[in-house]
Amino acid sequence: MARRLQNRRRPARSLNQLPFQVPASRIAPVAILSDDEIEAIHHASLRVLFETGIEINSSNARSMYKSAGAEVDAVSERVRMAPELVESLISTCPANWTFHARNKVHNIEIGGNRLAFCNATTPPYASDLKNGRQTGSLENFTKAVQLCQSLNVVHFFYGYPVEPQDLPVVTRHLDAYHTMATQSDKVWRAYAMSDMSDAIAMAQIARGVDDVQFVSEPSLMLNCNTNSPLKIDAAMCDGLIAMSRTGQPVVISAFTMAGAMAPITMAGALVEQNAECLAGMALTQIVKKGAPVVYGAFTSSVHMKSGAVSLGTPEYAQAAIAGGQLARRYGVPYKSSNVNSSNAVDVQAAYESMNAIWSATMGHANIMAHGIGWLESGLVFSFEKAVIDAEMLQMMIVFFRQMDTSQDALGVEAIARVGPGGHFFGDQHTLERYKTAFYEPMLSDWRPYDTWVEGGAKTATERAHEIVGELLDSFEVPPMEAAIREELDAYVIKRKEELA
């Protein structure tokens, strides 16, 4: 691996990270569509699957759909399903499960009112203020993995934080998995390939569990991207089959950009998203009833003047909330994202991200993909943006905390003691609580202007850059048993020889 930091033990300055914790929303999910409108989208998408069908490029998957009762055209590779068949198949999707990390403290609950945050996934480029925009490499990949391991708001890895393009394609996944398995002790995600065997083998080795335990304790995820409109390619299908067979969770993720890969109406794009998600969910259940699967939304609009994808927009926010309503309609966990389409780590990146974060949380997403580091519509993993995202997500964790409304907290006696025109600084009610009363930010700076100027007048992005440096300088590789490490190393060496 590019960087071994085990010998460096400089502690980071006291960064105000919250402990690792998956927040639970206490707020009822927000709805922007009526139940009737959700049913209309549901029925329209069933019509699409019955009348138009979906193209399934894996012969293996087509055979499985056919055995389950679908009508399959071998020439056009089109799979059509009757509404009753779809409804029957998806009825066995589980509502929640526990994700098992190699370090138990990083186990997480998926589903219900829980919201897990993940890194940005597989951008081709990385960027930071010092080095600018760089092609993804094992070096910046490793740093990004270390940063995500260091940030407690990253609950698991939703794919490679950046694509290590300097590695040979045929063995790239081995180095990438090895890095995620050793530089982190959180759950990680397999790269979407037909053959999941390396991912499964390495996740199993890293956890030190046998086949039976691995199947009963999911610890690896796959994101199955559809090729919108209405197509799932062979690698995605075969990857899904391998993962569902071993009880590992799959996210069915439609990429329905209204106006390009989907109808230009947001309702139409949601119909298409829903049809694709239902088709993928059905396949997981054909493979194995009760296999964990996630309803993944990625509906937004295309800027019709330029053809550019636009994310974190008002239409995106509507779709994110409506997507949650659809996922709840089917009783499965919901994946949304923290996205933006800015080219710089600027106010646009921040307000589009915050817009996406609020719509995902109000829509009760269970998994926030791309939560950390996403920039340029996903082309770049920005190290500074990662810290900025971490701050925004920490804010949401605190927002979701229960407000104490006990008699003591209502403070009527304290108000009486202080009285009109007084102040609460010295009151006992304050002294008992001031150390932990409020959120202490990692990044935000609330000092008065003059003090801030004396401190160098650093913008939040410049401060984020410093925090990245502190986190990486003080990074410690999470402990791993020597025997497991040797087995992982040996697996990679053996497989590289086989694939060479």
Asked if 235 and 194 touch (Cβ cutoff 8 Å), the reply is yes
Of 279 and 492, nearer to a copy of itself (C-beta) is 279
Residue 378 contacts a copy of itself per CB under 8 A: no
**CA 118/CA 157 separation, integer angstroms:** 6
Our CA dihedral for 178, 182, 187, 188, rounded to 10 degrees, sits at: -30
Give 190's strand partners.
222
Stretch that binds a copy of itself, among 154-162, 184-192, 242-250, 420-428 (CB under 8 A): 420-428
Distance in Å, CB of 31 to a copy of itself, minimum: 7
Please pick, from the candidates 126, 206, 332, 350, the single residue that binds a copy of itself as defined by CB under 8 A. Answer: 350
Residue 315 contacts a copy of itself per CB under 8 A: yes
Of 44 and 215, nearer to a copy of itself (C-beta) is 44
Asked if 282 and 86 touch (Cβ cutoff 8 Å), the reply is yes
Of 203 and 257, nearer to a copy of itself (C-beta) is 257
Residue 426 contacts a copy of itself per CB under 8 A: no
Residue 19 contacts a copy of itself per CB under 8 A: no
Of 198 and 276, nearer to a copy of itself (C-beta) is 276
DSSP state of 484: H
Please pick, from the candidates 285, 313, 338, 366, the single residue that binds a copy of itself as defined by CB under 8 A. Answer: 313
How far the first Cα of the chain sits from its last, in Å, is: 19
Stretch that binds a copy of itself, among 45-53, 111-119, 149-157, 290-298 (CB under 8 A): 45-53
Stretch that binds a copy of itself, among 32-40, 176-184, 205-213, 241-249 (CB under 8 A): 32-40
Residue 454 contacts a copy of itself per CB under 8 A: no
Of 247 and 378, nearer to a copy of itself (C-beta) is 378
Distance in Å, CB of 355 to a copy of itself, minimum: 6
Q: Strand 96-99 relative to strand 108-111: parallel, antiparallel, unpaired?
A: antiparallel
- Residue type at 298 in one-letter notation: F
**CA 339/CA 51 separation, integer angstroms:** 33
Please pick, from the candidates 438, 456, 482, 498, the single residue that binds a copy of itself as defined by CB under 8 A. Answer: 438
Number of other CB atoms surrounding residue 404 within 10 Å: 9
Asked if 184 and 50 touch (Cβ cutoff 8 Å), the reply is no
Number of other CB atoms surrounding residue 223 within 10 Å: 26
Kindly state the number of chain residues that form the binding site for a copy of itself, as judged by CB under 8 A.
127
CA of residue 81 relative to chain centroid, distance: 30
Residue 474 contacts a copy of itself per CB under 8 A: no
Residue 223 contacts a copy of itself per CB under 8 A: no
Asked if 141 and 179 touch (Cβ cutoff 8 Å), the reply is yes
Number of other CB atoms surrounding residue 459 within 10 Å: 13
Of 207 and 370, nearer to a copy of itself (C-beta) is 370
Residue position matching structure tokens 């081709």: 124
Give 374's strand partners.
381
Stretch that binds a copy of itself, among 291-299, 325-333, 363-371, 439-447 (CB under 8 A): 439-447
Number of other CB atoms surrounding residue 360 within 10 Å: 31
Which residue pairs, CB below 8 angstroms and at least 24 apart, start in 58-65? 58/232, 58/233, 58/234, 58/237, 58/238, 58/241, 60/237, 60/238, 60/241, 61/232, 61/234, 61/237, 61/238, 61/240, 61/241, 61/283, 64/241, 64/283, 64/286, 64/287, 65/282, 65/283, 65/286
Of 61 and 206, nearer to a copy of itself (C-beta) is 61
Residue 90 contacts a copy of itself per CB under 8 A: no
Residue 306 contacts a copy of itself per CB under 8 A: yes
Please pick, from the candidates 113, 171, 348, 474, the single residue that binds a copy of itself as defined by CB under 8 A. Answer: 348
Q: How long, in residues, is the chain?
A: 500
Residue 377 contacts a copy of itself per CB under 8 A: yes
Please pick, from the candidates 169, 420, 498, 500, the single residue that binds a copy of itself as defined by CB under 8 A. Answer: 420
Stretch that binds a copy of itself, among 217-225, 280-288, 455-463, 475-483 (CB under 8 A): 455-463
* Ranges within 236-275 binding a copy of itself (CB under 8 A): 258-268, 271-272, 275
Residue position matching structure tokens 């996903």: 378
Residue 466 contacts a copy of itself per CB under 8 A: no
Please pick, from the candidates 28, 212, 482, 500, the single residue that binds a copy of itself as defined by CB under 8 A. Answer: 28
And the tokens for 99?
């994700």
